[in-house]
C-alpha cells in the first residue's frame, strides 16, 4: 500500500514538474532564437536615438517630469484595483445577504475615506 501511495503522489507531481520545465525553458529558448535570428552588426544610423535626422537637444535624464504624473497613475491603479473587488460582490449579492452588504459598505467607507484624504491633501488637483 505504501508503494502505491508513493507512486500516486509522484504521478500527481509530474504535471507540475513538466509545467515548471516548460516555463523555465521557453524564455531561454526564445532568447537563444532571438540571438541566432537577429541581424549582424547594427548600422550606426540605427544606433542613433532618432532616425529622422534631427539631433536631440537633451538626453532622457535631463527631462524632468512632475511627480504628479506618477501620483495620479498610482492613485488610478489603487482605485481601479479596489473597484475590481466590487465585481465578485455584485455577482453574489443575493447569496451574501446582510453580512455581505455590511462588509461591502465597510469596504466602500474605507475607500471613501481614502478618496477624501487624497482630495483634501490636494493629490487630485493639478495646479
* 93-121 and 67-84 helices, crossing angle to 10°: 170
pLDDT digit string, tens, across residues 102-126: 998 999 999 899 889 988 988 878 7
Residue with cell string 465585481 = 87
Domains of the chain in start order, with CATH, are 2-121 (1.20.58.1610)
Q: Is the pLDDT of residue 1 over 60?
A: no
d(CA 30, CA 36): 10
pLDDT digit string, tens, across residues 46-88: 666 665 666 666 666 666 777 788 888 888 888 888 888 888 8
Per-residue pLDDT at 87: 86
The DSSP secondary-structure symbol of 61 reads: T
Amino acid at each position: 500500500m505504501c508503494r502505491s501511495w508513493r507512486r500516486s503522489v509522484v504521478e500527481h507531481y509530474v504535471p507540475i514538474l513538466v509545467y515548471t520545465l516548460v516555463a523555465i525553458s521557453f524564455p531561454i529558448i526564445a532568447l537563444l532564437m532571438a540571438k541566432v535570428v537577429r541581424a549582424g552588426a547594427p548600422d550606426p544610423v540605427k544606433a542613433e536615438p532618432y532616425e529622422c535626422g534631427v539631433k536631440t537637444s537633451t538626453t532622457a535624464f535631463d527631462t524632468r517630469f512632475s511627480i504628479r504624473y506618477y501620483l495620479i497613475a498610482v492613485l488610478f491603479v489603487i482605485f481601479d484595483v479596489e473597484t475590481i473587488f466590487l465585481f465578485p460582490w455584485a455577482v453574489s449579492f443575493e447569496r451574501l445577504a446582510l453580512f455581505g452588504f455590511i462588509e461591502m459598505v465597510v469596504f466602500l467607507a474605507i475607500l471613501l475615506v481614502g478618496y477624501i484624504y487624497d482630495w483634501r491633501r490636494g493629490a487630485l488637483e493639478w495646479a
